[in-house]
Amino acid sequence: MARLLRDVGEHAWIGRVVRRLAAAPAARRVAIGPGDDAAVIRPGRGALLLTTDALLEGVHFRAGWASPAMLGRRAFAINASDLAAMGGEPTFALLALEAPATLPAADLDALVTGFARAARDAGARLVGGNLARGPHLAITATLLGEARGPIVGRDGARAGDALYVTGTLGRTGLAVRRLRAGRRVPWPMPPLRLRAGRLLAPLAHAMIDVSDGLVQDAGHLCRASGAGAELLAACLPVAAACRRAFGGPAAALFAATAGEDYELLVALPPRAERALPRLRRRLGCRLTRVGRIVAGRPVVRLLDRAGRPLAAPRPGFDHFR
């Protein structure tokens, strides 16, 4: 019989996880790791980046979509994506968990291990957290990060900048649509564009990660920058699976609004574009020109080949609509 959380109890479970995390090789910058009232870390000299994001059963995923280890990895990745979008890299992490008492303790073990491994793979450390009982699994991570170079926000895009996006769009959105319909398909992992973010940040006027859909996240960038954007549907790097499922303009429309891509959208001035040929090989992913920043109201228009606006039914994901 699997041991459930209610058999193990909060403190015994935490004690076990803390012992396991403490058994990992010591990190130079962790003075006191998990297990005390607070972690003590040695911050770097530069600016400190902070971000938090949650992964909630029943909201972001349903039971059975991913193994506990993959949920842990995913919780790390979606947070790291926000750091990548600023040109930062994760250094330390906190993990707050809610779980029902009937969850097998081994599932939560695997989730924490998945998170801690993903953190370590990215050069970061899980240094603390919390566990509480809740009706569903809820995974809230907080990441601290640093930037080796300049930090880039959403607000610096100017008319004349070109808009580029990393990787491809629509693959995860399509998988989520199928999973919601009850089909058993893999839920792709976020791509983790830390390297691309770090390399693009010094060149970029503005950057954002595409978590809620390209059109919607481009809108955030435009509002912060006080400019508009034109996206060319025919130029979007639509994922192959998405092309097969929809074909033609419908695939581009879906890819532009589906969300969960965790790619980077970056506004580059012309002189930065000239530096791209040398940079491309080092990014570790595709980088595609998808449109441009234009003067005027902060509106994002998705245009077809003839320059006519395509009607987007909804720009992307919204928790409350």
CB of 128 to Mg ion, least distance (A): 23
Burial grade of 63 (CB within 10 A; 0-12, 13-18, 19 or more): exposed
Residue 253 or 264: the one with the smaller Cβ distance to Mg ion is 264
CB of 144 to Mg ion, least distance (A): 16
CB of 259 to Mg ion, least distance (A): 11
Q: Which stretch, 75-83, 105-113, 140-148, 175-183, contacts Mg ion (CB under 5 A)?
A: 75-83
Q: Does 209 bind Mg ion (CB under 5 A)?
A: yes
Residue 151 or 159: the one with the smaller Cβ distance to Mg ion is 151
Q: Which stretch, 103-111, 133-141, 204-212, 284-292, contacts Mg ion (CB under 5 A)?
A: 204-212
Q: Which stretch, 82-90, 91-99, 221-229, 278-286, contacts Mg ion (CB under 5 A)?
A: 82-90
Rg (Cα) of the chain, in Å, rounded?
A: 21
CB of 263 to Mg ion, least distance (A): 11
Task: Tell me, residue by residue from 11 to 30, as one string, x for binding to Mg ion by CB under 5 A and - for no binding.
Answer: --------------------
Residue 82 or 89: the one with the smaller Cβ distance to Mg ion is 82
CB of 209 to Mg ion, least distance (A): 4
CB of 217 to Mg ion, least distance (A): 7
Residue 165 or 233: the one with the smaller Cβ distance to Mg ion is 165
CB of 16 to Mg ion, least distance (A): 33
Residue 52 or 67: the one with the smaller Cβ distance to Mg ion is 52
> How far are the Cα atoms of 27, 80, 149, 163 from residue 52, in angstroms, in the given order?
22, 9, 22, 26
CB of 43 to Mg ion, least distance (A): 23
Q: CA nearest 242: which of 140, 318, 142, 169? A: 169
CB of 211 to Mg ion, least distance (A): 5
Residue 57 or 209: the one with the smaller Cβ distance to Mg ion is 209
Q: Which stretch, 48-56, 190-198, 203-211, 296-304, contacts Mg ion (CB under 5 A)?
A: 203-211
Q: Does 230 bind Mg ion (CB under 5 A)?
A: no
Q: Does 263 bind Mg ion (CB under 5 A)?
A: no
248-257 vs 171-180: helix crossing angle, rounded to 10: 90
Query: Which amino acid makes up residue 105?
Result: A
Q: DSSP label at 309?
A: B
Query: Which amino acid makes up residue 140?
Result: T
Which H/E stretch holds residue 302?
A: strand 300-303
Q: Please tell me the count of residues contacting Mg ion according to CB under 5 A.
A: 2
d(CA 175, CA 157): 32
DSSP secondary structure string for all residues of 219-254: HHHHHHHT-EEEEEGGGS-B-HHHHHHH-HHHHHHH
Residue 161 or 260: the one with the smaller Cβ distance to Mg ion is 260
Buried-exposed string 105-126: b where 16+ CB fall within 10 A, e elsewhere: bebbbbbbbbbbbbbeebebbb
Alpha helices in the chain (DSSP H): 5-8, 10-22, 68-84, 105-121, 171-180, 194-200, 214-225, 240-246, 248-257, 270-283
Candidate residues 82, 146, 212, 230; the one interacting with Mg ion per rule CB under 5 A: 82
Residue 161 or 209: the one with the smaller Cβ distance to Mg ion is 209
| Dmax (CA) of the chain | 64
Report residue 246 as tokens: 């929809």
3-state DSSP assignment of residue 35: coil
Residue numbers at the binding site for Mg ion (CB under 5 A): 82, 209
